[in-house]
Amino acid sequence: MTMRDRISGALGRRLVIGTPFLWLLIFFLVPFGIVFLVSLGAPEFGVPPYSPAFEWDGGVPRFVGSFDNYIFLTEDDLYWIAYLGSVKIALGATLLCLLVAYPMAYMIARAEPGMRNILLMLVILPFWTSSLLRIYALMGMLRQGGFINSALMGLGITDAPIQMMQTDFAVYLTIVFTYLPLMVLPLYSTLEKLDGSLLEAAADLGANSFQTFWTVTLPLSLPGILAGCLLVFIPAVGEFVIPDLMGAQDSPMIGNVLWGEFTRNRDWPVASAVAIAMLALLVIPFMLLRNTSALRD
């Protein structure tokens, strides 16, 4: 191998490795830094509607911002109630997604090879339409004069329409309905690679179906479970459209509070502080969990 080939190979490897980092720098770290700087300012009437965190003093940047917005978040119960409510709903919806998606993924992974692509296409098919259209379709089914209430009254199960809209039930159902494919796909990827000889060995050792699942299948599918739960839980915490359309007005999630600060109150610094705090409260525990798992391995 010539020196030119070595230099070209090294340059190619650096480009391959550096491209994802460049993407994160441009589309995550830079916007994150801008939002953080906005959170250190104060609201003002003007364009932009906040004071800068730094001022130039003789060509030298001087910090003039403050962390008062973060202190304000700890003093107002609205933000903690909204955040804890968001975590509760996201955890519940993630658990429901897992309970529904695991049998689906297991069935697809154990199906005939010719059927797997068809079943996977049916799982991915909802992503081909707008999520907003799917939410409005579900709203039409859950409203008082919708299909579900009409069917219940037609069968004589209830005499009057059941209130399903503007409830936590509607929020849970819509999140599961919307994010279910994000749970199925990583579970299928893990279960499809499961060595069938391990299941046969467990059966030969006298394990029944439940024991085989509990001691072999479930532990080996934990990476898929973790990946699916993260894909559902993280966006569900910051969800705005679903609780706004389906949830009760007296129990807002953190996404609705964030939207209200940006639009109705036009308090960009507080809204930015809410976004930064939400990201920190979500990312830091998962980073610690990942580091703990890496140390155990």
Q: What percent of the chain has pLDDT over 90?
A: 26
Residue 133 corresponds to which tokens in the numbers above?
């259209």
- pTM, 2 dp: 0.83
Segment 26-39 shows an average pLDDT of 89
- Distance between CA 18 and CA 141 in Å, rounded? 48
Question: Is it the case that residue 263 has pLDDT exceeding 80?
Answer: yes
Question: Is it the case that residue 18 has pLDDT exceeding 80?
Answer: no
User: What pLDDT is recorded for position 225?
Assistant: 92
Beta-carbon-side half-sphere exposure of residue 251 (alpha carbons within 13 Å): 17
Alpha carbon 221 to chain centroid distance? Answer: 20
Question: Is it the case that residue 1 has pLDDT exceeding 70?
Answer: no
User: What pLDDT is recorded for position 91?
Assistant: 93
Between residues 67 and 18, the one the model is more confident about? 67
Segment 35-45 shows an average pLDDT of 90
pLDDT bracket for residue 65 (50, 70, 90)? confident
pLDDT bracket for residue 163 (50, 70, 90)? confident
User: What pLDDT is recorded for position 2?
Assistant: 62
- Distance between CA 77 and CA 83 in Å, rounded? 10
Nearest to 166 by CA among 89, 246, 93: 246
User: What pLDDT is recorded for position 10?
Assistant: 63
Q: Which range among 241-245, 254-258, 268-272, 279-283 shows the weakest confidence by mean pLDDT?
A: 279-283
Burial of 234 (0-12, 13-18, 19+ CB in 10 A): middle
Question: Is it the case that residue 3 has pLDDT exceeding 70?
Answer: no
User: What pLDDT is recorded for position 6?
Assistant: 61
Q: Which range among 1-5, 100-104, 194-198, 256-260 shows the weakest confidence by mean pLDDT?
A: 1-5
Cβ proximity of 93 and 175 under 8 Å: yes
Cβ proximity of 228 and 90 under 8 Å: no
Between residues 282 and 75, the one the model is more confident about? 75
DSSP lists the bridge partners of residue 55 as 62
What φ, ψ does residue 151 adopt, rounded to 5°? Answer: -65, -40
Angle between helices 77-109 and 222-237 (to 10 degrees): 140
pLDDT tens per residue, range 117-141? 899 999 988 888 888 888 998 988 8
Question: Is it the case that residue 265 has pLDDT exceeding 90?
Answer: no
Question: Is it the case that residue 107 has pLDDT exceeding 90?
Answer: yes
